[in-house]
Amino acid sequence: MSASKINFNTAVAIVVANMIGTGVFTSLGFQVLDIQSAFAIILLWVLGGIMALCGALVYGEIGSVYTQSGGEYNYLSKLYHPVVGFLSGWVSSTVGFAAPVALASMALGHYVTGVFPNVQPTVVALFVVVLITVIHATNIKTGAAFQRYATYIKIVFIVLFIIGGFILAKPVPDISFLPNGHTFTDIFGSAAFAVSLFWVSYSYSGWNAAAYISGEIENPQKNVPKSLLIGTLIVSVLYVLLNALFLYSTPTTDLKGQIEIGHISATHIFGTNAGKTMSLIISLLLVSSISAMILAGPRVVASIGNDVQALRLFTKKNKNEVPYVAVLFQSFVSIVLILTAKFNEVLELIGFTLTLFTTLTVFGIFILRKKQRVANETTYKTWGYPITPILFLLINGWILYYGFSSKMQMALLGLALVLAGLPVYFIGKKKQ
């Protein structure tokens, strides 16, 4: 791999690491508050995987046509209008990546505190963000190698955790993954299922990670679609198995409202001492997620800087071609969020706004097909079109509707954040 290009294996690692973060190890505690059926909960994660795979299939085609870095910023600018792309990039540059970095760091701090009670979780979170920022602000080759091996270790551990867990765990009494009397009510009788799908969609977010760095990936027309699909498929299988293990091994009364789901489950499976060790390992796995988002996110800010004169500072690179100013800016925002925000509030805020822009992007495949009537046969084509994007849009539309109606305050705050980018865009363009 050249000093300035990311190979296919690293691209897959970035997708996997972006996806496997705080969500799968924290969100189940909020889902079991209102959903009693294990079948319904597993269905949540299956639907989340289907949605992510459909999104990855569509992004693969769009990314094979528009190969520059920047993800939704690049795609929406070309498919709709530059202002739509800018608003997407504005969200990505302010909270879209910085907030998940903060969430993963905060979760890591909680896990470490569960093992070492005298350690301050905030101090741990800040230390990890600063350390990884230094790595990725210095050299892309070093950062890519760190990302690749950290993700390999993560996958191996999770597979061993799942296998060992099902072998050693004593099943919860009366646990059943078949439909029961609560299933129909849990899925159709209230908004709880759709709201929980909102949390699950956050856990799967990151399936589009390779799109943000496509301009730095070798042979992007081929490797971007492949990395999106393979990375998403790997994570979907792991997510369903992990949540099945959590429910199989741990009573829901112990999970309700808890953040450290991995720690609680590991303690039930392996005992208190071994559980602490497993929890510490889980916390270290989050390092890979934090690293992936610190690697991918700044490329959006740098792409915006290429187009908007007022933000040109963020395009500044060091001798190793790393947009280090953008890296430092994103990490600064993450640090501010770590010091000031609450875990669930940050999660709800970014969940709504990111879902909004992925929905717009996937709908853009219909616009792209219309523009590309004489299509280049070398570009990747979405499997199952038009069913694939329609299915994604239906699930995401359901999430947005219930997310807005059930979490209106956070949804409105998310919309306000989006609209706050408008004056920045027009002022920047006027100066330009």
* Number of domains within the chain: 1
CA distances from 317 to 305, 320, 328, 424 (A): 12, 7, 12, 23
For residue 432, tell me if it sits in a domain.
Answer: no
83 or 216, which is more confident: 83
Tell me what pLDDT residue 202 has: 73
Tell me what pLDDT residue 349 has: 66
Residues 248, 169 contacting (CB under 8 angstroms): yes
For residue 2, tell me if it sits in a domain.
Answer: no
Query: Confidence band (pLDDT; 50, 70, 90) for 2?
Result: very low
Is the predicted pLDDT of residue 221 greater than 80, yes or no? no
Distance CA 197, CA 134 (A): 35
CA distance from start to end of the chain: 37
For residue 398, tell me if it sits in a domain.
Answer: yes
For residue 257, tell me if it sits in a domain.
Answer: yes
Question: What b/e readout covers 53-76, taking b as 16+ CB neighbours within 10 angstroms?
Answer: bbbbbbbbbbbbbbbbbbbbbbbb
Tell me what pLDDT residue 127 has: 93
Query: Confidence band (pLDDT; 50, 70, 90) for 390?
Result: very high
Of these ranges, 30-39, 128-137, 402-411, the one predicted with the greatest mean pLDDT is 128-137
Matching residue, tokens 């996937």 = 362
CA distances from 382 to 2, 225, 364 (A): 30, 9, 13
Tell me what pLDDT residue 393 has: 93
Tell me what pLDDT residue 365 has: 92
Query: Confidence band (pLDDT; 50, 70, 90) for 387?
Result: very high
For residue 240, tell me if it sits in a domain.
Answer: yes
Distance CA 154, CA 93 (A): 27
Tell me what pLDDT residue 93 has: 73
Q: Is the pTM of this model over 0.85?
A: no
Is the predicted pLDDT of residue 68 greater than 80, yes or no? no
Distance CA 109, CA 344 (A): 15
Query: Confidence band (pLDDT; 50, 70, 90) for 403?
Result: low
Query: Confidence band (pLDDT; 50, 70, 90) for 147?
Result: confident
Name residues whose C-beta falls within 8 Å of residue 5's C-beta, 6 or more positions apart in sequence.
216, 217, 218
Range of the domain at 39: 8-427
By CB atoms closer than 10 A (0-12, 13-18, 19+), residue 90 is buried
Distance CA 149, CA 353 (A): 31
Please name the helix (run of DSSP H) or strand (run of DSSP E) that holds residue 294, with its range, or none: helix 272-296
Of these ranges, 128-137, 189-198, 214-223, the one predicted with the greatest mean pLDDT is 128-137
Question: What b/e readout covers 306-325, taking b as 16+ CB neighbours within 10 angstroms?
Answer: ebbeebeebbeeeeeebbbb
For residue 75, tell me if it sits in a domain.
Answer: yes
**Residues 269-327: tens digit of each pLDDT:** 888 777 777 777 777 778 888 888 888 778 888 878 777 777 778 888 888 778 888 88
Tell me what pLDDT residue 355 has: 81
Is the predicted pLDDT of residue 1 greater than 60, yes or no? no
- Phi then psi for 382, rounded to 5 degrees? -65, 120
Query: Within 13 Å of residue 44, how many CA atoms lie on the same side as its CB?
Result: 34
Percent residues over pLDDT 90 in the chain = 10
Q: Find the mean pLDDT for residues 389-409.
A: 81
Query: Confidence band (pLDDT; 50, 70, 90) for 391?
Result: very high
For residue 244, tell me if it sits in a domain.
Answer: yes
Average pLDDT, the chain: 81
CATH number at residue 372: 1.20.1740.10
**Residues 342-365: tens digit of each pLDDT:** 656 666 666 677 788 889 999 999
For residue 1, tell me if it sits in a domain.
Answer: no
List the one residue out of 198, 177, 240, 247 whose CA is nearest residue 49: 240
Q: Find the mean pLDDT for residues 153-170.
A: 88
Q: Find the mean pLDDT for residues 244-251.
A: 90
Distance CA 62, CA 68 (A): 11
Query: Confidence band (pLDDT; 50, 70, 90) for 129?
Result: very high
Query: Confidence band (pLDDT; 50, 70, 90) for 432?
Result: low
Structure tokens at 248: 């199989």
Tell me what pLDDT residue 238 has: 92
Q: Find the mean pLDDT for residues 126-154.
A: 84
Cα dihedral sign, 373-377-380-381: positive
Is the predicted pLDDT of residue 395 greater than 80, yes or no? yes
Q: Find the mean pLDDT for residues 395-408.
A: 76
Q: Find the mean pLDDT for residues 118-122.
A: 86
Q: Find the mean pLDDT for residues 392-409.
A: 78
